[in-house]
A and B are shown apart, each in its own frame.
Chain A
Amino acid sequence: MSGTLVAQGYLCRAEEVAEGAARGFALTGRRHKVIVLRKGGRLYGWLDACPHYDGGTPMAWKSDAYLNGAGTHLACHSHGAHFDMTTGVCTLGPCLGQALTRVELHVTTAGEVFAAI
């Protein structure tokens, strides 16, 4: 059944996420999307769940709009919290001292990105 499980964790193709960009991908049966972003050539995965409230709340203001205006941080568009794109640590706003939940990514040789959750 491992094939089925892997198929459920499919997010996107690596080239769909450009340098400096972030996108959100839904996983069937999962409440939260997974944010995939590329920074310094490397892909990072974060749960689309702002830690401000129990259970986490979605952070974009519209589809794939996860960054602040300058494109320097992941931003929660509930209350403007900023998170470091590579560590997930909140640097400004309501969630100071908290961090996003990291989602480990696996990129296949064919360039498919899977979430290890």
Chain B
Amino acid sequence: MNIIGPDYLVFGVDDLPGSIEYLTKFGLKPVGVDASGGLFEALDGTGVIIRAKSDPALPAPLKTANMLRQQVYGVQADSDLDAIEVELSKDRRVVRLADGSLETADDHGFSLKFQITRRRALSMPAEKINAPGAPAQRAPNEIGVWEEMPAAPRSLSHVVLFVPDIAKAADFYCQRLGFVVTDTLIGAGPFLRPKANDDHHTLFFIRTPDYMQGCEHLAFHMGGPTELMVAGTRLVKSGVQSFWGPGRHKFGSNWFWYFNSPLGCHFEYDADMDKHDDSWTPREAPMGPEASQIVLFEMREKWAPGGPPPGAKRE
């Protein structure tokens, strides 16, 4: 089953204008969005779909406060959809929609959709750095940062779910859909990647009571740590509340910066995540601040040191 990762995450929100404002500020591009909501996409076409929570077109809500309504997974080919249909039809209802996509639910009742991926191939450079001992990545006179530099989310990276039963969640995605555990934070849960994606994780679970079940956060890949911090700084300057970061995780090695949102979960910019193949041996570490991150910073307003103290005697 060549599942690539999440194409879209669908939310039923209670503040549609606020959510539209937020997703736009976050750097996603509205596509066909009107007063009833719509798709906000990253550069590769993956993204977030929002509707009013009362919209009858949405899958049913979770039994909790969470606003996540559906995870839409992209797969490589029709044969992958066929394989998923055969496997999941063994013990649950799988609906084949007119466009060939499949709708069903996982063992926790999260609504799932599988479709031939809509993501577009990107061809853009990663952030380029220069360091002694290594070939320069930027040519002479090629500058690294400028005030108006682009810093747009490139691709929907991963989703993190609060679930009451980690084993049930991991078993469904690993044994039924071919996901692989890359690492585990003991006390929280495992990081998973699907077969057709070499990112460290597209899915992570955190164990919580059942009244919290839902989406903890979702993340978009940026072009590098500088883009991540530039985009985050712009977001905070626009009034958005930072939650955690910027920093760099240990498992996955990805830079992170999380923000509050009106969609009832955090939104994250991530950058420079590890890649893995099937030769990787999963690691384990007890969940905690040290295991979670190698560095953590907190944004402050810009200032700059100067020459003499402000009270210095003028010559």
Q: Note whether A and B form a binding pair.
A: yes
Contact with B along A69-111 (1 / 0, CB 8 A): 1100000111111100000000011101000000000000000
Complex Cα gap A58–B214 (Å)? 20
A8 within 8 A of B: no
- Contact pick for A57, options B240, B243, B264, CB 8 Å: B243
Contact assessment for B260 and A77 in the assembled complex, using a CB-CB cutoff below 8 Å? yes
Contact assessment for B241 and A94 in the assembled complex, using a CB-CB cutoff below 8 Å? no
Stretch in B12-20, B78-86, B123-131 with 4+ CB within 8 Å of A: B12-20
**At the interface, is chain A mostly helix, strand, loop or mixed?**
loop
Contacting residues, chain B, for A60 (C-beta < 8 A): 241, 260
Contact assessment for A80 and B67 in the assembled complex, using a CB-CB cutoff below 8 Å? yes
Complex Cα gap A94–B266 (Å)? 14
Complex Cα gap A76–B212 (Å)? 13
Contact assessment for B22 and A61 in the assembled complex, using a CB-CB cutoff below 8 Å? yes
Contacting residues, chain A, for B216 (C-beta < 8 A): 79
B65 within 8 A of A: yes
Contact assessment for B65 and A61 in the assembled complex, using a CB-CB cutoff below 8 Å? no
- Contact pick for A61, options B16, B18, B64, CB 8 Å: B18
Contact with A along B240-273 (1 / 0, CB 8 A): 1101000000000000000111101110000000
B226 within 8 A of A: no
Contacting residues, chain B, for A78 (C-beta < 8 A): 243, 260, 265-266
B308 within 8 A of A: no
Q: Which residue of B lies closest to A77 (CB)?
A: B260
Contact assessment for B65 and A81 in the assembled complex, using a CB-CB cutoff below 8 Å? yes
Complex Cα gap A57–B262 (Å)? 15
A2 within 8 A of B: no
Contact assessment for B212 and A63 in the assembled complex, using a CB-CB cutoff below 8 Å? no
B76 within 8 A of A: no
Contact assessment for B260 and A58 in the assembled complex, using a CB-CB cutoff below 8 Å? yes
Contacting residues, chain A, for B243 (C-beta < 8 A): 57-58, 78
Complex Cα gap A78–B162 (Å)? 13
Complex Cα gap A111–B241 (Å)? 29
Contacting residues, chain B, for A70 (C-beta < 8 A): 14
Contact assessment for A79 and B262 in the assembled complex, using a CB-CB cutoff below 8 Å? no
B239 within 8 A of A: yes
- Contact pick for B65, options A59, A63, A80, CB 8 Å: A80
B66 within 8 A of A: yes
Complex Cα gap A77–B266 (Å)? 8
| Known A61-B22, A62-B240; contact A69-B262, beta-carbon cutoff 8 A | yes
Contact assessment for B264 and A77 in the assembled complex, using a CB-CB cutoff below 8 Å? yes
B279 within 8 A of A: no
Contact assessment for B22 and A80 in the assembled complex, using a CB-CB cutoff below 8 Å? no
Closest Cβ of chain B: how far from A96's Cβ, in Å?
Answer: 6
Q: Which residue of A lies closest to B67 (CB)?
A: A80
List CB contacts (< 8 Å) of B51-105 with chain A. Answer: 64-67
B contacts, CB < 8 Å to A: 13-16, 18, 22, 64-67, 162, 208, 211-212, 214, 216, 238-241, 243, 259-262, 264-266
Contact sample, A vs B, 8 pairs, CB 8 Å cutoff: A68-B15, A69-B15, A69-B18, A69-B262, A76-B260, A78-B266, A93-B212, A94-B212
Q: Which A-B residue pairs are the 9 nearest by beta carbons? A: A80-B264, A69-B14, A69-B15, A93-B65, A77-B260, A62-B239, A63-B239, A80-B65, A61-B260
- 10 more contacts with CB within 8 A, not counting A80-B67, A94-B212, are A57-B243, A69-B15, A76-B260, A77-B241, A78-B265, A79-B65, A80-B265, A93-B65, A94-B65, A96-B211
